[in-house]
Amino acid sequence: MSATILDGNRIAGEIRAEVAAEVKALSSAGIRPGLAVVLVGHNPASEIYVRGKVKSCEEVGIYSEKLTPVDSITTEELLELVEDLNRRDDIDGILVQLPLPAQVDAKKILMAVDPAKDVDGFHPVNVGFLSTQRPGLVPCTPAGIMEILKRSNIPLASQEAVVVGRSDIVGKPIAMLLINANATVTVCHSKTRDLPGVCRRADILVAAIGRAGMITPDFVKPGATVIDVGMNKVTERAEFDRLFAGNAKREETFRTKGSTLVGDVHPQVAAVAGAITPVPGGVGPLTIAMLMANTVRAAKLRRSQLLATNN
């Protein structure tokens, strides 16, 4: 029996429609949420991400502004730009696209973003709000994973969840969100003893380790829900054969493009899992949808007094 595919594109579409309705409601109260995206230099991958973010803003009615300082910018100059955005009342969300050039102190820049406008949810203040269950802004990918689970009616309370990966961007925040949802959570990493054995305990397995097809069927309890956060480009033939041997559709893509995408979960896991997110089309689409939702949330949290007086 093959796993149920958890369609991230469909869920992201639902969220974007809800966000567009919220933006419309806010505009009748005289509020238009605004997002500023700071893109330093010319990293091709970052340019594609930013284009997607600006396009999504247009689609849901959020005001967006793209700032593109030169890649020779200093930490001090970029701090000034961030401080200026912090002061602007028409900007509710500030997103500094990573990676930043080597001469810029990225940690200093991210710390300078006003926590109330930190739509990435990376600021220690928002991390603290998440861990103490106070209203704040949650990182977009983990927030998107929770939406996939909830909207697919996957039970969370009392379930055993295993998170493979401990990054500040995905691993730690998704572990905290699952704890807050009353799951029992284990976080694994490169130093975990008997990783397959620990993963096999999971009712919900979240793979966010950044290694192509590392989670094989022997890591997965039959019937478990598997969330694949990985996005890895496969360019070598031997690696392709390990992951996609006999898959005619992928073979065609690989032959014409010279590469194909795979998550951290081996495609064969679909034969063991009860439900699984595909790559592409699983967790990825939710990240931008949740950025839109976070921008609206930031606007509402920042202007809650104004909204209360209007009601």
Which secondary-structure segment (H or E) carries 56? helix 44-60
Which secondary-structure segment (H or E) carries 286? helix 284-302
Question: DSSP letter at 274?
Answer: S
SS3 79: helix
DSSP β-bridge partners for residue 118: 94
Mark whether 103 is an active-site residue.
Answer: no
Catalytic entry in 53, 117, 172, 221: 53
Which pair of tokens denotes residue 7? 């369609």
Q: For residue 222, what are the CA distances in angstroms to 2, 92, 203, 204? A: 11, 44, 9, 11
C-alpha closest to that of 152 among 275, 273, 15 = 275
3-state secondary structure 103-152: CCCHHHHHHHCCHHHECCCCCHHHHHHHHCCCCCCCCHHHHHHHHHHHHC
Catalytic entry in 92, 97, 118, 203: 97
Mark whether 97 is an active-site residue.
Answer: yes
What contacts 151, CB < 8 A, 6 or more positions away? 11, 14
Cis peptide before 69 (omega within 30 of 0): no
Rounded Cα–Cα distance for residues 262 and 141 (Å):
17
Q: For residue 112, what are the CA distances in angstroms to 125, 133, 202, 266, 277? A: 12, 23, 38, 39, 35
Catalytic entry in 114, 118, 120, 264: 120
Rounded Cα–Cα distance for residues 10 and 289 (Å):
11
Mark whether 120 is an active-site residue.
Answer: yes
Which pair of tokens denotes residue 222? 């039959």
Q: Which residues are catalytic?
A: 53, 97, 120
